[in-house]
Structure 1
Amino acid sequence: MPVDKPRYIERGGEIVIRQPLGLRDVTMYSFVLAADRDRLIALVDRDLNAPAAGAVRYVPAGPFVALICADIARGQALEEPDHSKGWMAEKDVAFWIPLFAGKQVGPVFVPQRLVFYLPYVFVDNIAATVTGREIYGFPKESGVIRFPAGPCAEGRFEVDTLIIRKYEPASFGEVARLIDVEPAEPPPSPPEAGGWTDLEAGLGALGDRLKDLFESDAVEAAAGAALEALLAATRPGTRLVFLKQFRDAEDPARACYQAIIEAPAVVTSLHRGGWMPRHRVRVAEADSHPIVRDLGLAGAEIESLLATWLSFDFTMDRGTVVWSAQG
């Protein structure tokens, strides 16, 4: 018989906003990057499959990730009492890995759904950091984030955050540039040439371009489904997967709580979208953030395979515990 969960104690100064969350006037910039599939498999095995111990299995959809830069104009709880607390804005930058979630049946993996795993996430709002980590298990870190004024505006995407360049006793943690993204080619001229007047047609064109990029290299038989995974971020019911854990106070090598959480990010309204020029992505080398190694990127400076932008609203809904160490 399940034990009732204790009531959450609401304390002053803790701005942990209750889900579901409504996020409006979001402009999302997406940069698709080639990645090493074996590295992605190793990362997903470590973070998700090893803890779950067969209860669920996740497999990378293909040899690519997306660097997503999201400018969220308004985020607010959808339900009382937190809806009446007000709203906030935030910028976040994250690496998204599309995965198939399913079951291992003997030697055969049976995919059941598409999900996204975000191993690195940076935000400029401390309330969003705490809410994301404590409720869902987003590995959010606070940082100083700068975006261009809009999809056709000049400028760069920049993330400054606390890093440790080399793990050794004398090392000093410092706030420094970790991610830098700038155009690698001129923007379309006139700027309107980069816009989609019909989003369905635009998403279809995106799918065609992705197929040209990946199927031409004979990635794998599941390439079509993998491409669909990338497009899924713009459609209702996109599921995100998290490793939610807290370090134990008595034994620092253990977790006092550990679970695999999945939660739907439901797009409620699509506004506009379009192509962007390819961008050059630079990731600083730091032992604290082995992004290039974890994702199997070709190097600390790489060029995106393609780039798009979308404007939409979405809801971050309640999550589901897919597996937990507590049973």
Structure 2
Amino acid sequence: MKNTTPYARFPGEVIAAPPCKMFNANMYGFFLQGDYDRIQAYLDQTVNLAAPGTDTFKALTSYCMLTFTDIEKITAVTEPYASQGWFQETDVIIWIPVAQMRGTSIIHIFWYPGFICVNNVYALVNGRETWGFNKYLCQCDMPAIGGSPDFFNITVDAFKAFSPDTQLLPTELFQVASKGAVQEKPLSGIKDLVQAGFHVLKDQPNGLHLDWRLLLQLIEGLLHPQVDQLLFKQFPDGEDKNAVYQQVLHSPSVVQKVHSIKLYTHAFEFVLNKVDMFPLDTMFGIQVGSQQPLLSFNVLFDFNQDAAFVVAP
């Protein structure tokens, strides 16, 4: 049942109503090897707790997509928020491709941001409070628009090793570095990037769990490009024992314009450090240490982030 209790806004509060517009989102992506069972366990510990009706959410692959995105300008669409100003946001996300299942049938395909960090508190508060993004603050390095994709990293305030004597300090969680000379291949559109992804991932062990329903949905999405995001929104009670709110939500990122797409054909190295506060090895099966990502790419685009709605049966 929909909650119709009006939202009480504090004077001067920093919550802006959706949707919002994103301009010049400069996204770099890398596919990382994880572990299918650990990814599924992560889904069972989060979205499957509040799965709608008889539906469940199933991981589609043992790979996760890591993205670094610098969004040059974000502004609200509705007033009075549209006239209040704009902000820049950099986000670092680990995405899980997920199927909404009804029995043995795939109902819908989503991208679930299982890990997300941002560089400013306005993006963090609005993302968590309204949409349900599980955001944390970070500092990160990444190329500017038109720059060379040489180095990426993310630093978070964290307890590196849990112990009574550990202080919360800035800690590098992971980095990505280009190995050798940059080699890039311009693509004509999102369709080419999706096709390249299929060719790479289908040949990997436990790479993709595909059937005709998934293929149909992806093809349809090429005609009206958008990223269907799955969100797990919840708030704890004052004792952190029970959820006073817990729902699975859906919010599409609707692509308005693609400025450029590049596929990188040279190698990158991803290095994950052991940080107890962010155990990505336990969460997604991404091993501590180094690996070579698959399907490295860059997309420069504009998109709208629509409001979030409860996923219905």
TM over 0.5: yes
Does residue 281 of structure 2 align to residue 303 of structure 1? no
Q: For residues 9 and 123 of structure 2, what CA distance do their matches in structure 1 show?
A: 19
- How has the CA–CA distance of structure 1 residues 233 and 48 changed in structure 2, closer, same or farther, with 3 Å as cutoff? farther
Q: Secondary structure at the match of 1:194?
A: strand
Equivalent in 188, 195, 209 of residue 186 of structure 2: 195
Unmatched segments (≥5 aa) in structure 1: none
The Cα of 1:313 is off from its aligned counterpart by 0.6
Mapped partners of 1:305, 1:227: distance in 2 = 24
Matched, 1:255 2:243: yes
Distance 1:226 1:178, change over 3 A: farther
1:214 is the counterpart of 2:202 = yes
After superposition, the C-alpha distances for 1:138-187 in whole angstroms (9 at most, x for unaligned) are 01111112112345515311111111122232221111111211113420
Q: How far apart are 1:309 and its partner, in Å?
A: 0.5
2:163 matched residue in structure 1: 168
1:210: Cα distance to partner? 3.3
Counterpart contact for 1:207–1:228, Cα < 8 Å: no
Judged with a 3 Å threshold, the aligned counterparts in structure 2 of structure 1 residues 180 and 291 are, in CA distance, closer, same or farther, namely: same
1:207–1:227 Cα contact (<8 Å) kept: no
Q: Deviations over 1:208-237 (max 9, x none)?
A: 453244236475661773898699699623
Q: Give the percent of matched residue pairs that are identical in Structure 1 and Structure 2.
A: 24
Q: How far apart are the structure 2 equivalents of 1:180 and 1:227?
A: 35
- The amino acid across from 1:199 in the alignment is G
1:35-184 alignment, distance < 5 Å: 35-52=34-51, 54-104=53-103, 109-150=104-145, 152-153=147-148, 155-184=150-179
SS at match of 1:215: coil
Match of 1:28 in 2: 27
Counterpart code for 2:283: D
Identify the residue that residue 4 of structure 2 maps to in structure 1. Answer: 4
Alpha-carbon distance between aligned partners in 2 of 1:113 and 1:3, rounded to the nearest angstrom: 25
Structure 1 pair 89/288, CA: closer, same or farther in 2 (3 Å)? same
SS of corresponding position for 2:202 = helix
Q: Please state whether the residue corresponding to 1:129 is helix, strand or coil.
A: helix
Residue pair 1:184, 1:303 contacting (<8 A) in 2 also? no
Task: With the length of structure 1 as denominator, give the TM-score of the two structures.
Answer: 0.86
Please state whether the residue corresponding to 2:129 is helix, strand or coil: helix
**2:268 maps to 1:293:** no
Q: 1:131 to 1:195 in 2, by over 3 A?
A: same
1:220/1:19 Cα in 2 relative to 1: closer, same or farther (>3 Å)?
Answer: closer
| Code of the aligned partner of 1:6 | P
Q: Distance in 2 between matches of 1:164 and 1:125?
A: 20
Q: CA deviation digits over 1:64-93, x for unaligned, max 9?
A: 110011110010101111111111111110
Q: TM-score, normalised by structure 2?
A: 0.89
Could you give the per-residue CA deviations for residues 13-42 of structure 1, whole angstroms, max 9, x where no partner exists? Answer: x32221001001111101011221111111
Shift of 1:57: 1.2
Q: Is the 8 A contact 1:99 1:229 kept in 2?
A: no
Once the two structures are superposed, the pairs formed by residues 261-280 of structure 1 within 5 Å of their partners are: 261-276=249-264, 277-280=266-269
Give distance in 2, aligned partners of 1:302 and 1:78: 41
The Cα shift of 1:54 comes to: 4.9
Match of residue 245 from structure 1: 234
Residue of structure 2 in register with 1:322 after alignment: 311
Preserved contact between residue 273 and residue 288 of structure 2 (Cα < 8 Å): no
Which runs of no fewer than 5 residues in structure 2 stay unpaired?
none
Aligned counterparts of 1:227 and 1:90: Cα–Cα separation in 2: 33
Q: Secondary structure at the match of 2:42?
A: helix
